[in-house]
Every structure is written in C-alpha cells, then in structure tokens.
C-alpha cells in the first residue's frame, strides 16, 4: 500500500508541474547511459533507443498515417503477480528467477478484483510473472477471478508443476477452467534446454502429458492449452501456421501430446535478451532487422490498444514490455490500480519506443501470437 501511495503522490507531482520525467536506461558496450527528458502532458511520450541510424517508431507509424498510437478499448488486464520464477531463461525480458523477491500482495489483488467488479466489459484476466504460480496467493486470485466469470489465462512455464508443493496445480487449473498458455520454445530437447535450462524439456513434456490426461488440449474438453514459441537467437519467428503444423505432428507422434494453438512471439530487446545481444555484438543488427521488417498491418491488433498491464506493485503500464522498462502509462492517464478509470485509460496515448518494433515486425507479435496470420480455430 505504501508503494501505491508513493506512486500516487508522484503522479500528483507530475500533474501539478505538467511535466513527466522518464528515466531511460540503455546498456551497451561502453557501459550504462541514462537520459532524462521532459515531455509536455499534451504530447505522446516516446522512448528513443540505441540505434541512431533507425527512424523512430513514432516517425515510422506517422509515415503510415498514425500520428499518435492510442488505445481504443480495454478488454483485458494482464496482471504480473511477481518476478519469482523457478527457472532463469536466457531470453527472459522480465529478468525473472528464483532470487527475485517481488510478489503481488493480496491487498493489490483485491484492488484488481475491485476493478473487475466495476467494469464487466473487461472480460479477460491474463496472469503472468515470473512463474505466476510461485505467488503464494495465486490460487486465491484465480478463484476470485473465476467467481466473477472472467476468462483467466495462466502463462505457465510447465516446470513449476514439479516445484515442491505445486504438484496439485494441474488439477486446480482444470477444475477452475483456466486457459493455459505454456512456454515450449521448440519440440527438440537440445534447443529447449539451451534456452531454458538443463532438464526443462523432459519436465515440460511430462507436464504436458499430465495436462492432456486432465483433458487440456483435447477436442470437446473446454480446457484450452496453447504453446508459445520464441526464436533461439536474433531472428524473427517463422510462419505461425506452418510451425504449428510441425509442432502438432512432432509432439503427437513422439510423445502423444495434443494442444490447441501455437503462438509465435518475437524476442524483445529487453533485459536478458538484450544482454545477450550486447555480449555478442548483435544489438544494432537485431534492431535494424525489427525496424526493416515493420508491418503496418500489425498496428490495429497491437495488444497495448486493448489491454492494461498491471505490475506486481499495482502500477499501470501499456504492456508487459513497457513494464519491464519502467515506462508507466501516459502522465495524462491513471498510473496505479488504485486510480483505475476505464473511461480515461481506454483512449490514452500509448508510450512508445524502439522496442515497439518487436511487436510490429514480420507477422506482428503479441501475447496471443502473430497479429496478421490467420489463426487456426480451436475446438476444445
């Protein structure tokens, strides 16, 4: 509560002075570069980034007729319930791991639930982390969201089911009809273990088999199981539809595993993935790949235009990626869950930056996969 109060006071200071100060953090081969700039509240906030040879994201979308990227509705809350995770993945933009201590409290969860009660048009609660199940209040939050008849999505790393005291979770999720979006960056063991850690592939396969035994991913069960693919390196994802066919064939043939849909998601140049790019001298190359692959057809479906991301401490962001860059919602909008007002937030200017090219490159990318490819129809 103290953190929310501090954040609210800070927002009041911003409102009174009519200026927002954004701390921009960049790590490169020469060290850390910090910049502070002031932006009038009447203007969109844009975060300039690293590669000076690239056009800014705002300039690029302006060239395609979008003078200012704005939200157009709010149908989903993506709630980060903490950064604690039982894994430490190389590509993780959250920088999550077992050593993290950030955890959403019950008080903050109750404020999220209050928002859901006030605004029935928010249909989906998308729970993420870290490993969201590592939050000791995860089951309480899921149960209360389902009581409010909301669709609940659990972004699951699968191996969390093997953490001591978490073995009951597959049954719990099935009983509450929670949709599972599970990470499996490849159907080959070496590739998965390289990105996510030794032994992760075998435990992931075992977890998927458990979920199938409960009905997840099976036609007619009503229990949705979707998988997520991330490229292993500084590349764009391949065709989602074509890769989904390969995944389904390989997993069914080799392990008897079924699932509903595959989501391909572009790696964002943030935190650990950015660190890897920097260590290998590939940052500029990757940023240019994203910018040169800009697809204007992705703009209408960008997830920031229909959702709000809520941090573990109740701070509001346009998306999970902005959250990890500490870029709160535009200063003209509420910035904490305590001040949530859908009428103000659903038409707010979106805070943008060069990292936004990650969601608009190629077929587009979102937490629900490709933005421009036609998705297969799930019949579970």
Q: What is the pLDDT of residues 20-68, one digit of tens each?
A: 222 222 222 222 222 222 233 334 444 444 555 678 999 999 999 999 9
pLDDT digits (tens, 9 = 90+) for 281-320: 999 999 999 999 999 999 999 999 999 999 999 999 999 8
- Measured CA to CA, the distance from residue 371 to residue 303 in angstroms comes to 9
Distance CA 118, CA 99 (A): 36
Mean per-residue pLDDT over the chain, rounded: 83
Output the six-digit token pair for 60: 């690029």
In the predicted model, what is the mean pLDDT of residues 68-87? Answer: 91
Q: Say how far apart CA 184 and CA 174 lie, in whole Å.
A: 20
pLDDT class of 377 with cuts at 50, 70, 90: low
3-state per-residue secondary structure call for the chain? CHHHHHHHHHHHHHHHHCEEEEEEEEEECCEEEEEEEEEECCCCCEECCCCCCCCCHHHHHHCCCCCCCECCCCCEEEEECECECCCCCCCCCCCCECCCCCECCHHHHHHHHHHHHHCCCCCEEEEECCCHHHCCCHHHHHHHHHHCCCEEEEEECCHHHHCCCCCCHHHHHHHCCCEEEEECCCCCHHHHHHHHCCCHHHHHHHHHHHHHHCCCCCCCCCCCEEEEECCCCCCCCCCHHHHHHHHHHHHHHHHCCCCCEEEECCCCCCHHHHHHHHHCCCHHHHHHHHHHCECHHHHHHCHHHCEEEECCCCEEECCHHHHHCCCECCCCCCCEHHHCCHHHHCCCECCEEHHHHHHHECCCCECCECCCCCCCCCCC
Q: Would residue 222 count as lying in a domain?
A: yes
Any domain includes 10: no
89-144 pLDDT tens trace: 655 666 666 778 789 999 999 999 999 999 999 999 999 988 899 899 999 999 99
Query: What's the total number of domains in the chain?
Result: 1
* pLDDT for res 95: 63
Task: Examine residue 42 and state whether it is found in any structural domain, yes or no.
Answer: no
Residue 15 has pLDDT above 60, yes or no: no
Beta-carbon contacts of 44 under 8 Å, excluding residues fewer than 6 positions away, are 58, 68, 69, 330, 349, 350, 351, 352
What local confidence, expressed as pLDDT, does residue 188 receive? 76
| Domain harbouring 222, CATH code | 3.20.20.70
Percent of the chain with pLDDT over 70: 80
pLDDT tens figures, 253-291? 999 999 999 999 999 888 778 888 888 999 999 999 999
144 domain residue, yes or no: yes
| Within a domain: 169 | yes
Residue range(s) defining the domain that contains residue 236: 76-310+354-360
Q: Is residue 321 part of a domain?
A: no
Which pLDDT value is given to residue 278?
87
- Answer whether 209's CB lies under 8 Å from 257's CB: yes
pLDDT of residue 36: 24
If one counts every other C-beta atom within 10 angstroms of the C-beta of residue 322, the result is 23
Residue 283, token pair as written in the block:
């940052």
Q: What is the pLDDT of residues 184-197, one digit of tens each?
A: 877 877 777 676 66
pLDDT digits (tens, 9 = 90+) for 350-373: 999 999 999 999 999 998 999 998
Q: Check whether 161 has a pLDDT greater than 90.
A: yes
Q: Is residue 127 domain-resident?
A: yes
Residue 349 has pLDDT above 90, yes or no: yes
Q: Round to whole Å and give the CA distance between 199 and 192.
A: 9
The answer to whether residue 99 is domain-embedded is yes
Largest separation between any pair of C-alpha atoms in the chain: 63
């Amino acid at each position: 509560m103290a953190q929310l109060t501090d954040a609210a006071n800070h927002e009041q200071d911003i409102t009174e002075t009519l200026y927002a100060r954004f701390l921009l953090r960049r790590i490169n081969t020469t060290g850390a570069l910090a910049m502070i700039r002031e932006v009038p509240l009447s203007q969109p906030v844009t975060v300039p980034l690293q590669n000076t040879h690239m056009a800014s994201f705002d300039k690029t979308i302006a060239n395609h007729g979008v003078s200012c990227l704005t939200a157009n509705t709010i149908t989903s809350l993506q709630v980060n319930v903490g950064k604690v995770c039982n894994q430490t993945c190389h590509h993780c933009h959250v920088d999550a791991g077992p050593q993290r201590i950030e955890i959403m409290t019950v008080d903050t969860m109750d404020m999220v639930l209050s928002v859901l009660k006030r605004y029935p048009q928010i249909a989906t609660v998308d729970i993420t982390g870290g490993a969201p199940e590592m939050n000791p209040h995860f089951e309480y939050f899921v149960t209360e969201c389902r009581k409010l008849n909301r669709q609940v999505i659990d972004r699951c790393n699968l191996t969390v089911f093997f953490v001591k005291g978490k073995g009951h979770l597959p049954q719990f999720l099935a009983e509450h009809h929670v949709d599972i979006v599970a990470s499996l960056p490849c159907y080959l063991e070496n590739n998965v273990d390289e990105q996510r850690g030794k032994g992760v592939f075998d435990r992931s396969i075992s977890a998927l088999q458990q979920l199938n035994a409960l009905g997840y991913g099976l036609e007619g069960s009503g229990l949705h199981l979707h998988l997520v693919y991330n490229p292993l390196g500084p590349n764009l994802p391949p065709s989602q539809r074509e890769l989904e066919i390969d995944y389904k064939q390989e997993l069914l043939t080799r392990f008897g595993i079924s699932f509903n849909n595959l989501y391909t998601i572009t790696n964002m140049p943030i935190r650990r993935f950015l660190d890897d790019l920097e260590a290998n001298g590939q940052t500029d190359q990757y940023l240019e790949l994203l910018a040169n692959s800009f697809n204007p057809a992705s703009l209408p479906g960008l997830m920031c235009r229909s959702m709000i991301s809520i941090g573990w401490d109740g701070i509001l962001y346009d998306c999970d990626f902005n959250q990890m860059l500490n870029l709160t919602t535009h200063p003209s909008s509420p910035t904490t869950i305590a001040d949530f007002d859908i009428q103000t937030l659903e038409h707010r200017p979106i805070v943008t930056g060069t990292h936004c090219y990650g969601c608009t490159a190629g077929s587009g990318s979102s937490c629900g996969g490709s933005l421009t490819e036609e998705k297969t129809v799930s019949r579970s």
